[in-house]
Amino acid sequence: MAADPYADRAEAGQLLAEELVRSINHDHLDRPVLLALPRGGVPVAAPVARALAVPLSVLLVRKLGAPGQPELAVGAVAAIGDRVQRVVNADWVQRLGLTDQDLDRLEQSETAVLRARVATFGSTPAVDGRTVIIVDDGLATGATMRAAVTAVRGAGATSVVVAVPVGAVGACRELEQLADRVVCPRRPEPFRAVGEHYRDFAQLDDAEVLDLIS
């Protein structure tokens, strides 16, 4: 029988925190860097931050949409520490025949947006040599989370844990090939949309996000 939807992201975060503490070994939970994907991941991560007694920061990621096909992600940029980390999907870059100049143009455009978001939410702390836990409110395709995991790996994280309250089976399996651990207590099939698994899935504004990470 399918589980009842979470009441809201706060309840989901509380249950996710309990699952993390129960299922992750002490090495992963020893003062990790805790990062949330805004906006929806932030209220989920807030109870996790309290349970682990660690600061909560955001990880800002922007997809690089293919020229003329912005919905098709050929890569992403993420703001980590004092630099922007670029990751690309080599298969799609090759299929579309994109050049380094094409990628540079895409990166410049999205980096401008990224830096504006950093000015609002602050920068992600350096992750070099650290265990990183990345939290979101759910996984549908998992594309943004895959970019986030790849970015923190590229920035030197030694271990990466993905933590979400609910996710599609396929997305979780793909992330299990990238991350050291995926904690996702609910993996319903069929999976149509993250919002279907919450009774209250209201969108947050910037002020609400800032209040949770302050």
Residue 142: CB partners within 8 Å, gap ≥ 6?
167, 168, 170, 171, 172, 174, 175
Exposure b/e, 121-133, CB count within 10 A at least 16 = b: bebbbebeebbbb
User: Which residues are registered as beta bridge partners of 76?
Assistant: 63, 87
pLDDT tens digits for 152-161?
A: 998 899 999 9
Q: Who wins on pLDDT, 17 or 82?
A: 17
User: What kind and span of H or E run contains 35?
Assistant: strand 33-36
pLDDT digit string, tens, across residues 36-88: 999 999 999 999 999 999 999 999 988 888 888 877 778 888 888 778 888 88
> pLDDT, tens digit, for every residue of 110-146?
888 888 888 898 888 889 999 999 999 999 888 889 8
Parallel, antiparallel or unpaired: strands 83-88 and 131-135: unpaired
> Which residues does 102 contact at the CB level (< 8 Å), separation at least 6?
67
Indicate the pairing of strand 159-163 with strand 33-36.
unpaired
| Domains of the chain in sequence order | 9-53+127-213 (3.40.50.2020), 61-121 (3.30.1310)
Quick check: 1 pLDDT over 60?
no
178 with 146: CB under 8 angstroms?
yes
CB atoms within 10 A of CB 119: 9
Q: Note whether 19 and 183 are within 8 A (CB).
A: yes
**pLDDT confidence of residue 9:** 97
What's the confidence (pLDDT) of residue 27? 65
